[in-house]
Amino acid sequence: MSNYSKYCDDELVKFVRESKKSVKDMAFCALYDRYSAKVNAFCLYKLGRSSIATEEVFQQTWVRFYNSLIAGKEVQTVLPFLISIAGNLAIDHYRSQQLRRKHIKEDVESEVLEEIALPGSLQGVEQNELGEMIQTAINCLEGIYKDAFVMKRIEGLSLEEIAEIAGISISAAKQRVSRATNMVRTILAPYVKDYIEV
């Protein structure tokens, strides 16, 4: 790989938009290297272990991102922009699933929906016991709090970026993150205390 990873997001975005294909490709690869894990984490938490749906949303997120850059769409900050795309695609996915639920017999659909709607174990998190417990706790959270927790605690987004993605004020984002963290703390406290003592 080249040294494109040393450029800041703005420079890479500029290269993707304005340069020749070889540079465009390298710049996009650098952005991908920088944020693919975070986008993938978001997709996994958002869509659960349904690998097909998760991978579709992940792939479409990057395709839309690329097309947006080429089209000259304004991108102030890359990661929030990517998370916004992924979030919208996930919502679209849920909607399409709901439509399917109306048209397919329940006995057939129930298994499929369970697979899609109930996030299960995430490959990446299964590296330790506490990681698995956190994942379980996150999956118990309500949608907005789950998003807030994942974006802040796993992806490391700032409150400003979370606010931008969620379309809320910074103080509301702070409140969501705080509540989400306390929810996870409440769920896990009995277990984690044992974990810490051990």
- Sites of contact with another protein (CB under 8 A): 1-4, 6-7, 11, 14-15, 18-20, 22-23, 25-26, 28-29, 32-33, 36-38, 40-41, 44, 55, 58-59, 62-63, 66-67, 122, 124-125, 127-128, 130-131, 134, 149, 153-156, 174, 177-178, 181-182, 184-185, 188-189, 192-193, 195-196
Considering the complex, state which of residue 97 and residue 181 has its C-beta at the smaller distance from another protein. 181
Considering the complex, state which of residue 6 and residue 102 has its C-beta at the smaller distance from another protein. 6
Considering the complex, state which of residue 98 and residue 182 has its C-beta at the smaller distance from another protein. 182
Q: Residue 98 CB, nearest distance to another protein (Å)? A: 26
Considering the complex, state which of residue 101 and residue 153 has its C-beta at the smaller distance from another protein. 153
Residue linked to tokens 């679209």: 92
Q: Which two tokens stand for residue 8?
A: 């800041």
- Cα 76 to its chain centre, rounded Å, is 18
Q: Residue 3 CB, nearest distance to another protein (Å)? A: 5
Considering the complex, state which of residue 9 and residue 109 has its C-beta at the smaller distance from another protein. 9
Q: Residue 172 CB, nearest distance to another protein (Å)? A: 14
Torsions phi, psi for 126 (to 5 deg): -75, 25
Give every CB contact of residue 146 below 8 A, 6+ residues apart in sequence.
45, 46, 138, 139, 180
Q: Is 139 exposed, middle or buried (0-12, 13-18, 19+ CB in 10 A)?
A: middle
Torsions phi, psi for 4 (to 5 deg): -65, -20
Cβ 85 vs Cβ 61: under 8 Å: yes
Helices (H), 5-128: 9-18, 21-47, 51-70, 78-103, 106-117
Considering the complex, state which of residue 116 and residue 148 has its C-beta at the smaller distance from another protein. 148
Q: Residue 61 CB, nearest distance to another protein (Å)? A: 9
Q: Residue 184 CB, nearest distance to another protein (Å)? A: 6
